[in-house]
A and B are shown apart, each in its own frame.
Chain A
Amino acid sequence: MKDELANDLRAAREVMGWTQAELAQEVGVSRKTINTVENGVFVPSTPLALKLARSLNRTVESLFWLKDQDEDVAS
């Protein structure tokens, strides 16, 4: 089974009141990187996930999780 990563990045960013460009600047990556992570197209590296979590005042686990964890929670 292929592991799929889900994330709460968009919601966390909106809570902070930031645009994609502002978060990108904060983390030091391009806006397209933030966009593709939010849309689940790009799986971020561990350092990038840690930087995102730190910038958004969240833990990595609350920002990113495996999709099968959703099913575990539901059952």
Chain B
Amino acid sequence: MWISARIRNGPPEVLADRIMRGRLRSLYVALPVYALMVAAISFDMSLAEAGGWDTGLAWFSVTIVLASLLVRDPSARRVSPEVGRFLNDDLTRAHRASAQQTGFWVAVVLGTGLCLLGWMVAIDARQIAFMVVSGAVGAALFRFLLLERRALAA
């Protein structure tokens, strides 16, 4: 995230608050874009016309970047440790834990559901992995977005 010099020189808690709000705004855009991307790739897969390795690499890169938000805020490394402490405080860590839990259960339900379906119709293993990972990351980020929005609202 780009941080102007004026904001960078402000008090750490103010900078952290702005970064948090910026992160939330980025998620509002990133999540629908990710959903569209996954839907487009799924549609291609259903037609057995999955794109080449570049499509896979694009999906992999976006998934890793989005999933990294559930581990530690990447922008915390670019600013001072003081700001990083505000960005990774108790509440944010609790929100991440809750989001990871949501992602885990979505993966379990999707994975078992697709395995069951696999006994009835043939499903490509790559399709199953793609759906499980995309669903889990998407659901976890959506949960994180809702929790952060509620916390920042008041």
A25 to B154, CA, bound (A): 18
- Say yes or no: is B59 at the interface (Cβ < 8 Å to chain A): no
- Say yes or no: is B91 at the interface (Cβ < 8 Å to chain A): yes
A39 cross-chain contacts in B, Cβ below 8 A:
154
Q: A21–B13 contact, CB under 8 A?
A: yes
- B115-154 contacts to A (CB < 8 Å): 148, 150-152, 154
Interface segment, one of B32-40, B45-53, B62-70, B82-90: B82-90
A35 to B92, CA, bound (A): 13
A24 cross-chain contacts in B, Cβ below 8 A:
13, 86
A54 to B89, CA, bound (A): 18
Q: B20–A30 contact, CB under 8 A?
A: yes
A21 to B16, CA, bound (A): 11
Interface residues on B, range: 10 to 19
Checking B90, B148, B150, B154 against A29 with a beta-carbon cut-off of 8 angstroms, the contacting residue is B90
- Say yes or no: is A75 at the interface (Cβ < 8 Å to chain B): no
- A4-23 contacts to B (CB < 8 Å): 21
A44 cross-chain contacts in B, Cβ below 8 A:
90
- Say yes or no: is A67 at the interface (Cβ < 8 Å to chain B): no
- Say yes or no: is B94 at the interface (Cβ < 8 Å to chain A): yes
A36 to B87, CA, bound (A): 15
Q: A29–B86 contact, CB under 8 A?
A: yes
Interface residues on A, range: 10 to 19
Checking A21, A25, A28, A36 against B91 with a beta-carbon cut-off of 8 angstroms, the contacting residue is A36
A30 cross-chain contacts in B, Cβ below 8 A:
13, 16-17, 20, 86-87, 89, 91-92
Q: A32–B90 contact, CB under 8 A?
A: no
B152 cross-chain contacts in A, Cβ below 8 A:
32
Q: Which residues of B contact A (CB under 8 A)?
A: 11, 13, 16-17, 20, 85-87, 89-92, 94, 148, 150-152, 154
Given contacts A29-B86, A33-B89, 7 further A-B contacts (CB under 8 A): A21-B13, A28-B86, A29-B89, A30-B17, A39-B154, A42-B151, A44-B90
